[in-house]
Amino acid sequence: MPELPEVETVRRGLEPWCLNQTIFSVEPLHPRATNARSLSAITDVSGATIKKIARRGKFLWFELDRPYALVAHLGMSGQFRIQPFGAADEKHLRARFSLSKNELRFVDQRTFGWLAISALEDGVPTLVSAIAPDLFDKKFDRAATITRFQSKRSEIKRVLLDQSVMSGVGNIYADESLWRAKIHPQSIAAELSLRKIGQLIDSAESVMSQALLEGGTSFDSLYTNVNGESGYFEHSLQAYGREEQPCARCHAQIRRIVIGGRSSHFCPKCQKR
């Protein structure tokens, strides 16, 4: 599933093509492309002009010259593509937006992604209001986030994936952040010191900043940027997906365990409980 670096890469890729463009028409092509909580049909954005493209965690939205926004979640395989008028349709095309100069297309093979119209409150769609600010959000409060971490009696890997604590971190960057901070994924969040949680937050910021520079992580064609290009952070991964490979720090074998139904990769020597 695309995480913060991938969604931010998509947001940045959309800006030069979509800002100040008018949406002349909308063509929904699959019923699951529209979230059931959408205020109305996505065709209602026809005639609106895109003023800004914003993001929080794994959500992005198009701010319009209207009192509502068009929100998108990429799910597991959602993609936005910019195409010239008349270009052949993608196999899994779910919605088409005809803009002033090109087409914006929402493509989703597994149909877990969605689009929705949502009211805005303080510049944030109500559909996103329960999502905590991420590390790159101007509203991110480091002290409050550390307090939320320390209030959880659950394994730190689970807490990292809790989008109401700190958004944007998914399975890949959780494993990488824990490896960098030398924290075992089964450590109880409430038992970690303020310093250690601070190190974890710093590690998450560091790893996601690096991933942004490298266009995110692409294991297959299910995640690409708006021009169809893949990210290459996969080659910089130190823990995720590296089961039985040597740790880059101590050369012990990376292990895989399952926490909350999700694979977790860690070094048993560097990341002791």
Assess whether pLDDT exceeds 80 at residue 229: no
pLDDT value, residue 228:
74
Where does the pLDDT of residue 223 fall: very low under 50, low under 70, confident under 90, or very high at 90 and above? low
Q: pLDDT for 110-121, tens place per residue?
A: 999 999 999 999
Residue 213 parent element (H or E): helix 194-213
- Does domain 142-266 fall under CATH 3.30.9.10? My reply is no
Residue 220 banded pLDDT, cuts 50, 70, 90: low
> pTM for the whole thing?
0.93
> Is 139 one of the annotated active-site residues of the chain?
no
Please say if 262 is a catalytic residue.
yes
* 96 is annotated as an active-site residue: no
Give me the catalytic one of 3, 63, 155, 176: 3
Q: Phi and psi of 207, rounded to 5°?
A: -70, -35
Which position among 2, 5, 125, 133 bears the catalytic label?
2
How confident is the model over 203-231, as a mean pLDDT? 79
- Specify the CATH class of 4-128 in words: alpha beta
pLDDT digits (tens, 9 = 90+) for 117-135: 999 999 999 999 999 999 9
2 tagged catalytic? yes
**Residue tagged active-site, from 142, 182, 262, 269:** 262
Residue of 58, 96, 157, 242 marked catalytic: 58
The residue-averaged pLDDT of 223-251 equals 85
3-state class (DSSP) for residue 221: coil
- Which residue is listed with tokens 């010191």? 193
Residue 221 has pLDDT above 60, yes or no: no
Which DSSP symbol is given to 101?
S
pLDDT at 231 over 90: no
pLDDT at 219: 56
Among 117, 55, 50, 56, smallest CA distance to 82 is for: 50
For the chain, residues classed under CATH 3.20.190.10 are 4-128
Inform me whether the pLDDT recorded for 218 exceeds 90. no
51 in Cβ contact with 64 (< 8 Å): yes
pLDDT of residue 217: 80
Q: For the chain, where do the domains classified as CATH 1.10.8.50 start and end? A: 142-266
187-213: per-residue pLDDT in tens?
999 999 999 999 999 999 999 999 999
Q: Beta-strand (E) ranges in the chain?
A: 25-28, 50-56, 59-64, 68-73, 78-83, 93-98, 103-108, 114-121, 124-125, 255-259, 262-266
**What percentage of the chain carries pLDDT values higher than 70?**
96
